[in-house]
A and B are shown apart, each in its own frame.
Chain A
Amino acid sequence: MAGMDGPVDDALLRLGRHLRAGTVSDDLRTLHQIGGRQADAFYRDRWSHDKVVRSTHGVNCTGSCSWKVYVKDGIITWESQQTDYPSVGGDRPEYEPRGCPRGAAFSWYTYSPTRVRFPYARGVLVEMYREAKARLGDPVAAWAEVTADPDKRRRYQSARGKGGLVRVTWDEATEMIAAAHVHTIKAYGPDRVAGFSPIPAMSMVSHASGARFVSLVGGTMLSFYDWYADLPVASPQVFGDQTDVPESADWWDAAYLMLWGSNVPVTRTPDAHYMTEARYRGQKVVVVTPDYSDATKFADEWLAPHPGTDGALAMAMGHVILKEFFVDRQVPYFVDYVKRHSDLPFLVRLREHPESGAYVPDKFLTAADLGEEGQEAAFKTVLLDAVTGEPVVPNGSLGFRYSEEGQGRWNLDLGGVDPALTLNDGEGRPAVAVALPRFDQGGGDGVALRGVPVRQVAGCLVTTVFDLMLAQYGVGREDLPGRWPSSYDDGSAPYTPAWQEAVTGVPAAKAVKIAREFARNAEESGGRSMIIMGAGTNHWFHSDTIYRSFLALTTLTGCQGVNGGGWAHYVGQEKCRPVTGWAQMAFGLDWSRPPRQMIGTAFWYLHTDQWRYDTYDAGAVSSPLGGGAFAGKAAADLLSASARMGWMPSYPTFDRNPLELAEEAAASGQEAGPYIASQVASGELGFACEDPDAPANWPRVLTVWRANLLGSSAKGNEYFLRHLLGADSSLRATEAAPEHRPDDVRWRQDAPQGKLDLLLSLDFRMTSTTLFSDIVLPAATWYEKHDLSSTDMHPFVHAFSPAIDPPWQTRTDFAAFTAIARAFSTLAATHLGVRKDLVAVPLLHDTPDELATPGGVVRDWRAEGRTPVPGRDFPKIVTVERDYGAVAQKMAALGPLLDRLGTTTKGLTYDVSGEIGRLGRLNGTVRGGVADGRPSLARDVDMCETILALSGTTNGHLAAQGFATLGRRTGTSFDGLADEHKQITFADTQARPVPVTTSPEWSGSETGGRRYSAFTINVEHRKPWHTLTGRQHFFLDHDWIHEVGEALPVYRPPLNMTALFGEPGIGESGGQGLDGITVRYLTPHSKWSIHSEYQDNLLMLTLSRGGPNIWMSPADAARAGIRDNDWVEAVNRNGVVVARAIVSHRMPAGTVYMYHAQERVVDVPKSEISGKRGGIHNSLTRLMIKPTHLIGGYAQLSFAFNYLGPTGNQRDEVTVIRRRNQEVDY
Chain B
Amino acid sequence: MNALDVVLWVVAPYVALTVFVLGHVWRYRYDKFGWTTRSSQMYESRLLRIGSPLFHFGILVVLLGHIGGLVIPKSWTEAAGVSEEAYHVVAVVLGTIAGVATLGGLAILIYRRRTVGPVFTATTRNDKLMYAVLAVTIVLGLAATVMANIVGGGYDYRTTISPWFRSIFYFQPDPALMAGAPLLFQLHALSALLLFAVWPFTRLVHMLTAPVGYLTRPYVVYRSRAEQPTGARAPRRGWEPSR
Contact = CB atoms under 8 A, between A and B. Distances in A.
Contacts of A24: 218
A280 to B, nearest CB: 40
Nearest to A74: B242
Interface string B222-242: 111111000000001111011
B219 interface: yes
A73 interface: yes
Interface residues of B, number: 22
Interface in A11-38: 12-13, 15-16, 19-20, 24-25, 28-38
Contacts of B210: none
A45 interface: yes
A72 B238 CA distance: 11
B96 to A, nearest CB: 29
B218 A25 contact: yes
Contact of B243 (A32, A42, A74): A74
A42 B236 contact: no
Interface of A is mostly: mixed
Nearest to A14: B216
B220 A73 contact: no
Interface string B189-228: 0000000000000000000000001011111111111110
B76 interface: no
Contacts of B169: none
Contact of B223 (A20, A37, A45, A74): A37
Interface residues of A, number: 28
A31 B238 contact: no
A893 to B, nearest CB: 37
A44 B215 CA distance: 29
Interface in A32-61: 32-38, 41-42, 44-45, 48
Given A38-B237, A45-B239, A74-B243, A32 B224 contact: yes
Given A45-B236, A48-B238, A34 B224 contact: yes
A340 B243 CA distance: 69
B216 A29 contact: no
Given A37-B226, A73-B242, A75-B242, A29 B236 contact: no
B221 A30 contact: yes
Q: Which one of A15, A16, A24, A25 has the highest number of Cβ atoms from chain B below 10 Å of its Cβ?
A: A16
A48 B236 CA distance: 11
Nearest to A8: B215
A13 B216 contact: yes
Given A41-B238, A48-B238, A74-B242, A35 B220 contact: no
Given A41-B236, A45-B236, A73 B241 contact: yes
Given A41-B237, A45-B238, A48-B238, A16 B218 contact: yes
Contacts of B215: 12, 16
B170 interface: no
Contacts of B243: 74
Contact of A30 (B216, B218, B237): B218
Given A37-B226, A73-B241, A75-B242, A42 B218 contact: no
B217 A20 contact: yes
Given A30-B222, A33-B222, A15 B216 contact: yes
Contact of B220 (A15, A29, A42): A29
A35 to B, nearest CB: 3
A808 to B, nearest CB: 15
B72 to A, nearest CB: 28
A42 B222 CA distance: 18
Q: Which one of B218, B219, B237 has the highest number of Cβ atoms from chain A below 10 Å of its Cβ?
A: B218
Given A16-B216, A24-B218, A45-B236, A34 B242 contact: no
A298 to B, nearest CB: 37
Contacts of B213: 16, 19-20
Contact of B218 (A29, A38, A72): A29
Contacts of A25: 218
Contact of A33 (B219, B221, B236, B237): B221
B217 A16 contact: yes
Given A41-B236, A73-B242, A28 B225 contact: no
Contacts of A42: 33, 238
A687 to B, nearest CB: 59
A16 B221 CA distance: 13
Nearest to B243: A74
A40 to B, nearest CB: 9
A37 to B, nearest CB: 5
B241 A13 contact: no
Given A37-B223, A37-B226, A74-B242, A31 B237 contact: no
A73 to B, nearest CB: 4
A435 B161 CA distance: 114
A16 B220 CA distance: 13
Contacts of B33: 42
B216 A31 contact: no
Contacts of B216: 12-13, 15-16, 19
B218 A31 contact: yes
Contacts of A35: 223-226
Contacts of B242: 73-75
Contacts of B223: 33-37
Nearest to A46: B238
B239 A73 contact: yes
A95 B218 CA distance: 48
Contacts of B218: 13, 16, 24-25, 28-31
A122 B49 CA distance: 61
Contacts of B227: 34
Contacts of A16: 213, 215-218
Contacts of B236: 41, 44-45, 48
A1097 B215 CA distance: 47
A20 B216 CA distance: 10
Contacts of B239: 45, 72-73
Interface in B48-73: none
A24 B227 CA distance: 20
B23 to A, nearest CB: 22
B78 to A, nearest CB: 36
A30 B226 contact: no
Contacts of B225: 34-35, 37
A32 B236 CA distance: 24
A24 B222 CA distance: 10
Nearest to A42: B33
Contacts of A12: 215-216
Contacts of A29: 218-220
Contacts of A36: 223, 226
B225 to A, nearest CB: 7
A30 to B, nearest CB: 4
Nearest to A30: B220
Contacts of B219: 29
Interface string B151-178: 0000000000000000000000000000
A36 to B, nearest CB: 5
A34 B228 CA distance: 12
A45 B215 CA distance: 32
A1202 B242 CA distance: 47
29 contacts: A13-B216, A13-B218, A16-B216, A16-B217, A20-B213, A20-B217, A29-B219, A29-B220, A30-B218, A31-B220, A33-B221, A33-B224, A34-B223, A34-B224, A34-B226, A34-B227, A35-B223, A35-B225, A37-B223, A38-B237, A41-B237, A41-B238, A42-B238, A44-B236, A48-B238, A73-B239, A73-B241, A74-B242, A75-B242
Interface of A: 12-13, 15-16, 19-20, 24-25, 28-38, 41-42, 44-45, 48, 72-75
Given A35-B226, A42-B238, A75-B242, 12 more contacts: A16-B216, A16-B218, A19-B213, A20-B213, A29-B218, A31-B222, A33-B221, A34-B225, A36-B226, A37-B225, A45-B236, A48-B238
Interface of B: 33, 213, 215-227, 236-239, 241-243
Q: Which 6 residue pairs across A and B have the least CB separation, nearest first?
A: A16-B216, A35-B226, A45-B238, A30-B220, A73-B242, A31-B218
